[in-house]
Amino acid sequence: MRRRHMLGAAAPLGLGLALGLPGTAAWAQAPTTRVVVGFAPGGSVDALARLVGDALQTGLGRTAIVENRTGAAGRLAVEQVKAAPPDGSMLLLAPQGPMTLFPHVFRNLRYDPGRDFVPVTRVASGDFALTIGPMVPAKDMKGFRAWLKTAGDKASYGSPGAGTIPHFVGVAISRQLGVPMTHVPYRGSALTMNDLAGGQIAAAVSPVTEALELHKAGRVTIIATSGSTRTPFVAGVPTLKELGIAVDVPLWFAVYAPAATPPELVDKMRQAIHAALATPSAKDKLALMGLVPSPSGSAELLVVQRRESDMWAPLVQASGFTPGD
């Protein structure tokens, strides 16, 4: 299923020449960039893609189309951009999973994150939350850990799905606590949170924003977040690292271009996106999603990507997870 959103008006023919971009003939003759996302319209990734499209329109005069290429947990979108010409006409906006975790949870991945793409920039970052529900008679990690030791088969946590980053963040937390927790996979964070608030599962790992409203209403309790520093969206909640649990996995989203896209063109697109991320409007939009701007260079993003991928490999293997197709 695809849905496209037009952003901005067509750039004048020859704008690439005026900007001194490489591949100016192709750039000028096809003054449209498709920002491809692997998720349905209306979610955070879709909203971020619109922001990126607006940035290309404002900074480079490009017409931008957000294209929703759903299916295969976002892999179809990644494959589509891999096959695109390296001329700036198609970009990928994705969370980190397809580039860091998927090589370890899918046997027949039809792309190589390091070989088939050029990182343009990270766009935004946030955190995952460890949240407990009314089944657990505790309000913090100390109480949760004590309860787990006597909970037996009630010691469970939900995630948005098997083979997702929240799934393996939960595995890492369980191993660090030294107490087994049964993983309960759901089809999305909303269903996870519903069952958590209803007392069907003890805990959940999800993006902070998915738990935030229920946390504020007192129906669930966020007891820790996954990043290296505390999130501004949940005042007073410590990080897992602060609590002695060696888990540091922020949530992040980034833009990628097909391999062989000229460096000068990547730089122009990066500069346009960075300029947009620095505006108050962008910061406000991201805050509504529980995210903050986190622009980066290509080399920096590639280092982060490789580090996270190296972290997941042994954890996925040790979990006993069976890679799928």
Task: State pLDDT tens for residues 67-123.
Answer: 999 999 899 999 999 999 999 999 999 999 999 999 999 998 999 999 999 999 999
- pLDDT value at 8 more than 80: no
Q: Are 128 and 205 contacting, i.e. CB atoms less than 8 angstroms apart? A: yes
Q: Are 231 and 128 contacting, i.e. CB atoms less than 8 angstroms apart? A: no
- pLDDT value at 19 more than 50: no
**Using 50, 70 and 90 to split pLDDT, how confident is the model at 27?**
low
User: Which tens digit of pLDDT belongs to each residue from 234-250?
Assistant: 989 999 999 999 999 99
User: Which tens digit of pLDDT belongs to each residue from 300-321?
Assistant: 999 999 999 999 999 999 898 9
Residue 316 φ/ψ, nearest 5 degrees: -60, -45
- Among left, alpha and beta (phi > 0; psi -120 to 50; other), residue 115 is alpha
- pLDDT value at 3 more than 50: no
- pLDDT value at 146 more than 60: yes
Torsion of CA 134, 140, 144, 146, to 10 degrees: -130
DSSP state of 137: -
- pLDDT value at 6 more than 50: no
- What would the two tokens of residue 271 be? 């500069």
User: Which tens digit of pLDDT belongs to each residue from 270-287?
Assistant: 999 999 999 999 999 999
Q: Are 48 and 96 contacting, i.e. CB atoms less than 8 angstroms apart? A: no
User: Stretch 128-144: mean pLDDT, rounded?
Assistant: 97
Burial label, 14 (beta-carbon count in 10 A; 0-12, 13-18, 19+):
middle
| Least confident range of 28-32, 73-77, 169-173, 278-282 | 28-32
Nearest CA to 201 among 188, 215, 217, 184? Answer: 184
Domains of the chain listed by start with CATH number: 4-125+251-319 (3.40.190.150), 128-225 (3.40.190.10)
Tell me the percentage of the chain whose pLDDT exceeds 90: 82
- pLDDT value at 159 more than 50: yes
Quote the CA–CA distance of 199 and 134 in Å, as a whole number. 6
**Using 50, 70 and 90 to split pLDDT, how confident is the model at 12?**
very low
- pLDDT value at 323 more than 90: no
User: Stretch 175-179: mean pLDDT, rounded?
Assistant: 93
Quote the CA–CA distance of 100 and 41 in Å, as a whole number. 23
- pLDDT value at 15 more than 90: no
Q: Which residue has the higher pLDDT, 204 or 5?
A: 204
User: Stretch 38-49: mean pLDDT, rounded?
Assistant: 89
Quote the CA–CA distance of 113 and 280 in Å, as a whole number. 32
Tell me the percentage of the chain whose pLDDT exceeds 70: 90
